[in-house]
Chain A
């Protein structure tokens, strides 16, 4: 399964690669990283229908995660991939908005990686 992680913090890449190193080594998961909403969209357009799961931060400079979610859900060709949102602010407003826009899950920072692994497995 190919997963695209969108976060403006570059160290997220190293973290994910280590946290999921067994899954990556086993070939169960393939990760790609984008550091902004704009880059994520561009990446998706370059690799159409490849990525089935998108994990995006909400609070990013420029295009926000919610805006990215809206664009993916409205313009991305079917079948729409699974989109999970991550935010440092676990407020209900963002949660409701994300759900309304069609997010499949709403996670708060700090990420519980075991929980995330389970969610990814269930998404498989």
Chain B
């Protein structure tokens, strides 16, 4: 049975060494264990060469010492349960040897039982051994898995750090971009203001010729009526110097004089209102709403637009139709803003008729019509209609977009309708809609609350 003892010692030592990793954790035990192993080998050799009974007692001592050490010592606590596997064998073999020593006859009578028991203890040992190994393997697997998980979480943690860094970088970049965008937005707002101002100036430019014409006419009347009044006074003086004064003629001259002075005032005021309108049109300060006669405003701007175009294009001509509702009443609007809207709609209307005229349609009479109407106590309407080229369906959705224009480059800012739309809707809480048929007509409808 010495081989069995040797193998038990051998495997037990190996088991303890690997389980406890004594080489790393307990170097002094490692040394002792190695000595134990050598001792076991020596004992086995002694067994083979010296036929002595002392060796079997040394085996017993060695096994008991090991199991006892494993059971009792604190450092061996994890492998303490080794006695469960080895204990039965040691006890049985010890019992056998002691029984043999004390009473060999008695032993002979029970030897079969003892030997069977010994075999059972060995089977038990091996079974326990295998099951422990299996458990060990499962534990090892578990440990590896945990290690892997740890490794993974370490990698994830590393990735997290990297991600955090990336996020910080991105955030910094985004913040920078946001600041840049804000800067750009501010610049764009400034540009927009400039563009609106430029659009105002551009339409003022369009107006200039019209204004010149519109002012020239009343001024001519003022001059002419004052000159002719001087003549009338001369005639009156002549008449009064005569012996046979013609009272009737004198009365007539005086009536004419009164009429002339009224005409002078009338045309003076006419010029005055045009200049005022022009000043208002170019003003940049915050405009104020005031009760406005929209019929007058429409009339004034239609003439301005018409004469403005006439001045730049001598061949241009159109019939103007004004259909004003006498009961429109005054409407609270910003006159210069609404004037700009009207001017813009008129200019577009004239442009549309001009486009159609250029196609050389026989018997085509360009016509632009403006009409006003009170719809209810709370609402009025202004319609600007032309019989021009109309708006194609494809562009109809874009006409209010800033910078959208169908005019050749350099001729339109593309801001006219966009600004008009803003003025009517945002500025006055109204609506700007359009009805059109390509090649037939276009009609813009402004509806304003009163």
Taking Cβ atoms with an 8 Å cutoff, the residues of A that contact B are 9, 11, 14-15, 18-19, 59, 61-62, 64, 67, 88-89, 91, 93-94, 97, 109-111, 113
What 7 pairs across the A-B complex have the smallest Cβ distances? A110-B220, A61-B320, A62-B319, A18-B228, A64-B317, A93-B314, A15-B224
Complex alpha-carbon distance, A28 and B260, angstroms: 24
* Residue in contact with A14 in the complex, picked from B219, B220, B263, B311, CB distance below 8 Å: B263
Min Cβ gap A116→B in Å is 12
Q: Are B318 and A61 in contact (CB under 8 A)?
A: yes
Complex alpha-carbon distance, A115 and B105, angstroms: 176
Chain B residues whose C-beta falls within 8 Å of the C-beta of A15 in the assembled complex: 221, 224-225, 228
Chain A residues whose C-beta falls within 8 Å of the C-beta of B311 in the assembled complex: 89
Q: Are A61 and B319 in contact (CB under 8 A)?
A: yes
- Answer yes or no: B216 CB below 8 A from chain A CBs: yes
Chain B residues whose C-beta falls within 8 Å of the C-beta of A67 in the assembled complex: 317
Q: Are A94 and B314 in contact (CB under 8 A)?
A: yes
Chain A residues whose C-beta falls within 8 Å of the C-beta of B314 in the assembled complex: 89, 91, 93-94, 97
Q: Are B216 and A11 in contact (CB under 8 A)?
A: no
Complex alpha-carbon distance, A61 and B302, angstroms: 11
Q: In chain B, residues 150-207, which have Cβ atoms closer than 8 Å to a Cβ of chain A?
A: none
Min Cβ gap B316→A in Å is 9
- Interface hub of A15, A61, A111 (most chain B Cβ within 10 A): A61
Complex alpha-carbon distance, A113 and B225, angstroms: 12
Complex alpha-carbon distance, A115 and B263, angstroms: 24
Quick one: closest A residue to B263, CB to CB?
A11
Check A109/B220 contact, CB under 8 A, given A61-B318, A93-B314.
yes
Complex alpha-carbon distance, A93 and B312, angstroms: 12
Chain B residues whose C-beta falls within 8 Å of the C-beta of A9 in the assembled complex: 217, 221
Quick one: closest A residue to B223, CB to CB?
A110
- Answer yes or no: B310 CB below 8 A from chain A CBs: yes
Chain A residues whose C-beta falls within 8 Å of the C-beta of B213 in the assembled complex: 59, 88-89
Chain A residues whose C-beta falls within 8 Å of the C-beta of B318 in the assembled complex: 61
- Answer yes or no: B297 CB below 8 A from chain A CBs: no
Quick one: closest A residue to B319, CB to CB?
A62
Q: Are B228 and A19 in contact (CB under 8 A)?
A: yes
Chain A residues whose C-beta falls within 8 Å of the C-beta of B220 in the assembled complex: 109-111
Chain B residues whose C-beta falls within 8 Å of the C-beta of A64 in the assembled complex: 317
- Answer yes or no: B256 CB below 8 A from chain A CBs: yes
- Answer yes or no: B267 CB below 8 A from chain A CBs: yes
Complex alpha-carbon distance, A64 and B318, angstroms: 9
Chain B residues whose C-beta falls within 8 Å of the C-beta of A18 in the assembled complex: 228, 231-232, 256, 260
Q: In chain B, residues 310-331, which have Cβ atoms closer than 8 Å to a Cβ of chain A?
A: 310-311, 314, 317-320
- Answer yes or no: B265 CB below 8 A from chain A CBs: no
Complex alpha-carbon distance, A69 and B231, angstroms: 33
* Residue in contact with A110 in the complex, picked from B224, B260, B267, CB distance below 8 Å: B224
Complex alpha-carbon distance, A18 and B217, angstroms: 18
Selected A-B contacts with CB under 8 Å, 26 pairs = A9-B217, A11-B221, A11-B263, A14-B260, A14-B263, A15-B224, A15-B225, A18-B232, A18-B256, A19-B228, A59-B310, A61-B318, A61-B319, A61-B320, A62-B319, A67-B317, A88-B213, A88-B217, A91-B314, A97-B314, A109-B220, A110-B219, A110-B220, A110-B223, A111-B224, A113-B224
Q: In chain B, residues 267-319, which have Cβ atoms closer than 8 Å to a Cβ of chain A?
A: 267, 306-307, 310-311, 314, 317-319
Min Cβ gap B346→A in Å is 13
Chain B residues whose C-beta falls within 8 Å of the C-beta of A91 in the assembled complex: 314
